Amino acid sequence: MHIETLRIFCDLADLRSFSKTAEKHLLSQSAVSQQLAQLELGHKCQLINRKKRPIELTRQGRLLYQASKDMLDRYEELKSELSALQKSSMSRINVAAIFSIGMHTLPDYIKRFMVRNPNVNVHVEYFSAGTIYELVLTGRVDIGLVAVPRRDKRLDVYEFEDEPLALVCSPKHPLSRESLVDIHRLQFEKFIAFEKDVPTRAWIDGILERYNTAVRPVMEFDNIETVKRAVEIDSGISILPRTAILQEVSDGTIKAIGFSNEEFVRPTGIIVRKGKILSQAGRYLIELLRKRTEREI
């Protein structure tokens, strides 16, 4: 079946006239009849009762009519979406990222992307993980970047970077003199934690629980930047991604110490709504973000 044949059939059903349908499509009545005959032959049933005046659809015809209308509507939507993507060489990709990824990991990827796509505007905004999932699912952003991504049947989830974790403390803290530390040394230490609804909190709690280590949360925050400020003034220790503390370590305001037990990491991921139609540039950005992970695999 061709789209144009279905369109002629639907118009014939709506206009209930071979002559009016032929006139609308700039065809002869014979050509319209031939199109109908092809449909009836292909489906092995009669679609129109020609004995009625004006003509009427049979039960099979009504079924095909409704299905055809749905397909034509979806086809028009597809054409509109494709047209919007190709309308201008200047396009925009909306990205939502948690603050730590958006500030510390994403910029290098954006720079590499812009070398190849100088006319594409990559608009990056920072949100909490919960808000990012909502924005992606509702189509208000094209690509989301989150830590400890959750699986969802409505989303395509791709691995991004595994971020190495480190113990962070003030240079005044006794542990700051260590080059490596056993995670059991954190037992009962004052701890600056993420709030309980932040995915990274559950991930770090899982690491501590696995090593049967209990800390004393004295403050809870919803973002890394505030955690870092609390650590700098020696309010407690914390566990943070190394990518998010490079500047503070360089400035000497925070000490980062590796663990002797194993290299702990925080997984991050790329989320896109299933069925989302992305521009060629959008698809390239996702490929670029996934490139390191694929090389490692």
The architecture CATH gives domain 91-160+267-296: 3-Layer(aba) Sandwich (3.40)
Residue 87: per-residue pLDDT: 54
Say if CB 178 and CB 291 are below 8 A apart: no
Q: What's CA 74's distance to the chain center, in Å?
A: 23
- Taking residues 284-291, report their average pLDDT: 92
Could you list the beta-strand ranges (E) of 41-154. Answer: 48-49, 56-57, 91-97, 120-126, 143-147
Residue 161: per-residue pLDDT: 94
- CA-to-CA dists, residue 142 to 93, 117, 147, 286, angstroms: 6, 17, 17, 10
Domains 91-160+267-296 and 163-264 alike in fold:
yes
Token representation of residue 87: 């309308």
The pTM of the full predicted model, rounded to 2 decimals, is: 0.68
- Taking residues 193-210, report their average pLDDT: 96
Burial of 54 (0-12, 13-18, 19+ CB in 10 A): exposed
Domains in the chain: boundaries: 3-86, 91-160+267-296, 163-264
Question: For 237, which DSSP code?
Answer: B
For 3-86, CATH number? Answer: 1.10.10.10
The architecture CATH gives domain 163-264: 3-Layer(aba) Sandwich (3.40)
Residue 1: per-residue pLDDT: 54
26-60 per-position pLDDT tens digit: 999 999 999 999 999 988 999 998 888 888 999 99
Residue 295: per-residue pLDDT: 42
Whether the per-residue pLDDT at 212 is higher than 90: the answer is yes
86-101 per-position pLDDT tens digit: 654 447 899 999 999 9
